[in-house]
Amino acid sequence: MSALVGPGLFPFTLAALVMAGLVLVEVLSLLAGQSASGALDGVIGHDDIMVGETAEGLSPAALLSWINLGRVPFLILLILGLAIFALAGLILQGFAAALLAPLPALAAVPLAAGATLPALRLTTRTVARLIPRDESYAVTADDLVGATAEVTLGPLDQGLPGQVQARDRYGNVHFLRARAAADANPMATGTRVLLVDRVDAVFVAVPAPADL
């Protein structure tokens, strides 16, 4: 036990202890009905972090995005980072001790940190796939204005509405009532159209440009 608090291992032991404390906080908060990681993310508000570079090189925001902050809650990312750093340090010092002697902390910490970043990126990428995200796949009728569609019941003219089939940005299929715009020629079944407006529950369509 005393070896774990020796000069060469103390940074990694400390990281492991902090990691264990954060895990305990998260577990207790979940038992209380409020995730500490979710509450912390609400305070930080890191969802809009952009990848970029500064004149000096990679920006801090780019680095945080690279290790998937925003896809993984900050507290979970911190726990994983501490765990990987502690494990990397213990393995490094174990090899060093077996070969000659443990490395000084000033040498071991940068080496362990360098190994932590790529491992953290891979780990958080996997964790991000497992964490459910609060995403809504619902769209309103107005969201479909500007979408392309195919006439399924036509022809579309300025008379009684026909029917078109459209897909929203999530890939969901919608069957909509539609009629041709005032200055548009009738559009037969199978014609690709562009929904340019909506009047009450009926969409207004024109022939879709060839480049859409």
Q: What are 105-144's pLDDT values in tens digits?
A: 899 999 999 999 999 999 988 888 776 555 555 678 888 9
C-alpha 211: how far from chain center? 31
Looking at residue 127, its pLDDT comes to 85
Same domain? 155 vs 126: no
Q: How many domains does the chain have?
A: 2
* Domain stops at, among 67, 96, 130: 130
Same domain? 25 vs 114: yes
Please name which of 178, 186, 184, 183 lies closest in space to residue 204, comparing C-alpha atoms. 178
Q: Residues near 23 by Cβ (< 8 Å), separated by ≥ 6? A: 79
Selected residue with higher pLDDT from 31 and 199: 199
Same domain? 154 vs 113: no
Compute φ and ψ for 155, nearest 5 degrees. Answer: -75, 155
Same domain? 112 vs 162: no
Classified as helix, coil or strand, 41 is helix
CA dist 33 and 11 (Å) reads 33
Cα angle 122, 13, 77; round to 5: 30
- State pTM to two decimals: 0.54
Same domain? 38 vs 109: yes
Give the structural domain span for 8.
2-130
Residue 58 domain-assigned (yes or no): yes
Compute φ and ψ for 137, nearest 5 degrees. Answer: -105, 15
The residue type of 204 is: V
Please state, rounded to an integer, the average pLDDT across all residues of the chain.
82
The stretches of 100-211 forming alpha helices (DSSP H) are: 105-130
Same domain? 76 vs 164: no
